[in-house]
Amino acid sequence: MALTGNWQQRIGNQRDWVWRGWQTRYTYMRRRGEEKEKLNTPIIFLHGFGASIEHWRHNLPVISEQHTVYALDLLGFGASRKAATDYLVELWVEQVYDFWQTFIGQPVVLVGNSIGSLVCLQAAVTHPEMVKGQVMLSLPDVSLRQEMIPQWLQPLVNAVEGVVASPLLVKSLFKVVRRPEVIRRWAGVAYVDKKAITDELVEILAAPAQDEGAARAFSALSNSVRKPSFATPVKKMLPCLNIPILLIWGKGDRMIPPSLAPTFAAQNPQIQLIELENVGHCPHDECPDVFNEILLNWLEVNFSAITDSQPELTTTPQQ
């Protein structure tokens, strides 16, 4: 499906929402028409690291033909406030939950890319009454980062990362990193199909880096990711869910190893795994037509007949 028009016109009705004193941004598109009411399961889309609601510009208009859709800029990203705070997945989970309580109030399907998928997973475990199904693209597990570094080398790696993530150095680096030509090269790592790296995409990725506090927020995020408290390990959360789960992974992903996909899928029989050939870290943007068809088919199969039953936890995450 070819979409035309400026990307700002393709992401729906943008609104500001003050959450815990911070300005945040969201968007929504109502399902078109009144037919097939049972298919109208609301969906919340959550972007990945460094992205924003605009990253879903090829998806929201298509999915909204059958479902009401919402997308959020997580705190610290997109047009939301680049707050001086401790960024943990738990913080974003509470942002999503409070948003859901304020504007939706009925069970939804969560769709997330990269770190957004990690937020989806932890939200489903923490607030099962909110989530009736979830779709995760390129699911990261930051707990594996420590496992992949030899124990004797971890102090040195942490020290080096601490220097790189220091506010003073980040402020200098940001002047280089936010340049369009540098962003284009970074996108080349995430995308297999280089034709998907358009001027529009570069503009979308570059804009938030110009905001006040962007360098400070990036420094805080970089430091938070290195903390064990950043997120619960994925393998502890996946077995806890008793809801339909779709896991999508590009086999050309160079950001998160595709070899993790079957390992994660084996953690829960509810997981349907779809691996895409010649696709990278962002399937929804690199091959949107394929992704949209997969998502709509999965939604129809799993939620065409809505029941009042709520998702439940089968176990409690280990601490």
pLDDT tier, 12 (very low <50, low <70, confident <90, very high otherwise): confident
Range in 156-160, 197-201, 208-212 with the lowest mean pLDDT: 156-160
What does the pLDDT read at residue 186?
84
**C-alpha Rg value of the chain to the nearest Å:** 19
Domain boundaries, the chain: 9-148+230-303
CA separation for the pair 128, 110 (Å, rounded): 12
Check: pTM over 0.85? Answer yes or no: yes
CA separation for the pair 187, 195 (Å, rounded): 11
CATH code that applies to domain 9-148+230-303? 3.40.50.1820
Q: Label the pairing between strands 13-19 and 69-72.
A: unpaired
DSSP alpha helices (H): ranges in 130-257? 143-147, 154-164, 167-177, 180-190, 199-206, 214-225, 234-237
pLDDT digits (tens, 9 = 90+) for 113-123: 999 999 999 99
Length of the chain: 319
CA separation for the pair 233, 223 (Å, rounded): 18
pLDDT digits (tens, 9 = 90+) for 13-28: 999 999 999 999 999 9
What does the pLDDT read at residue 17?
97
pLDDT tier, 208 (very low <50, low <70, confident <90, very high otherwise): confident
CA separation for the pair 259, 221 (Å, rounded): 26
pLDDT digits (tens, 9 = 90+) for 157-174: 455 455 445 555 556 655
110's tokens: 């969560």
More confident residue, 256 or 157: 256
Range in 71-75, 228-232, 236-240 with the lowest mean pLDDT: 228-232
pLDDT tier, 153 (very low <50, low <70, confident <90, very high otherwise): very low
What does the pLDDT read at residue 152?
47
161's tokens: 């990362």
Q: Label the pairing between strands 22-29 and 13-19.
A: antiparallel
